[in-house]
């Protein structure tokens, strides 16, 4: 299975801090077995940079990138014009989340997220509990 991690999922998984939903945890726990590929949006990396500089999360960008590079189970995906076109079709209040949602829709993959509002985005599968 290929999934896109929301920023919260990236932070909680890589830092080991915070609760992760049962179904999301199952996917994250089995990723090292090679059965799943976890996509991480460049937008999430931007959020991690910002939040770590504000000391709001127990992870920084350097550690995050090191952990992602250390495993073949992760892939960083950049924003592109096609993803931005999808974002233009979404009505979602917060820009970072909107871009992450658009990335998941463009790739046609589920998103691992605790954000309940994501469930209201048409055509998007959200995995957490």
Average pLDDT over residues 6-26: 95
CA dist 30 and 113 (Å) reads: 17
**φ and ψ at residue 74, rounded to 5 degrees:** -115, 150
Which domains does the chain carry? 2-127 (3.40.50.1010)
Average pLDDT over residues 7-29: 94
pLDDT for position 128: 97
CA dist 76 and 93 (Å) reads: 24
pLDDT for position 33: 78
pLDDT tens-place string over residues 88-115: 999 999 999 999 999 999 999 999 999 9
pLDDT for position 123: 92
Q: Which two tokens stand for residue 52?
A: 């770590």
CA dist 62 and 59 (Å) reads: 8
**4: which strand partners?**
39, 111
pLDDT for position 29: 87
């Amino acid at each position: 299975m290929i999934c896109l991690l929301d920023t919260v999922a990236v932070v909680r998984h890589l830092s080991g801090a915070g609760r992760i939903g049962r179904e999301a945890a199952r996917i994250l726990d089995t990723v090292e077995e090679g059965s799943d590929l976890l996509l991480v949006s460049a937008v999430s990396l931007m959020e991690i940079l910002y939040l770590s500089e504000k000391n709001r999360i127990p992870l920084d960008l350097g550690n995050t990138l090191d952990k992602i590079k250390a495993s073949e189970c992760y892939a960083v995906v950049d924003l592109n014009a096609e993803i931005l076109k999808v974002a233009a079709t979404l009505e979602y209040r917060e820009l970072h989340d909107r871009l992450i949602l658009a990335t998941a829709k463009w790739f046609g993959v589920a998103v691992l997220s605790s954000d309940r509002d994501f469930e209201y985005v048409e055509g998007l599968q959200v995995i957490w509990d």
